[in-house]
Amino acid sequence: MNQRPPVPPFTRESAIEKVRLAEDGWNSRDPSKVALAYSVNTQWRNRTEFATNREEAQAFLERKWKKELDYRLIKELWAFTENRISVRYAYEWHDDSGNWFRSYGNENWEFEPDGLMQRRFACVNDMPISASERLFHWPLGRRPDNHPSLSELGL
């Protein structure tokens, strides 16, 4: 069996690591790479979209990152149990007209014993912001380790 560490049951430290790995993956904006973190029969709810397998999740991500340009994300652990993790997050992006947004949300995750995510339920709200209100200024890709967290930014 292939594993995607860390695997359940989670400790506080392994849950924090899982959250950061998920953040790093999404900040890569590589749909085929990110989709590999999800089980073949993953179930998603994201806003008004539903996915019932890895291929549908990957197609969702492809559409997402064609629309949400210069995407930068920060996730933060909210709570965890043996095989579940809850996170809060914020990300900044702009549309093809140059309008900036900060999107806030919560996700609930459930993992298979191999560490692949079986269920992902997301709630997201978009807030228009001006370019001068942006807080996420690192180069595209992985958030630097010394960049403030959501809590440190007061978000």
pTM of the predicted protein model: 0.97
Q: Give the pLDDT confidence of 7-22 residue by residue, as tens digits.
A: 999 999 999 999 999 9
Q: Give the pLDDT confidence of 19-75 residue by residue, as tens digits.
A: 999 999 999 999 999 999 999 999 999 999 999 999 999 999 999 999 999 999 999
Structure tokens at 93: 């992006």
Task: Report the topology of domain 12-133.
Answer: Nuclear Transport Factor 2; Chain: A, (3.10.450)
For residue 2, the model assigns a pLDDT of 80
Residues facing 50 on adjacent strands:
45
Contact present, 22 and 36 (Cβ < 8 Å): no
For residue 19, the model assigns a pLDDT of 98
Backbone angles phi, psi at 113, to 5 degrees: -60, -25
For residue 1, the model assigns a pLDDT of 59
Our CA dihedral for 50, 11, 150, 47, rounded to 10 degrees, sits at: 10
Contact present, 104 and 127 (Cβ < 8 Å): yes
Domain boundaries, the chain: 12-133
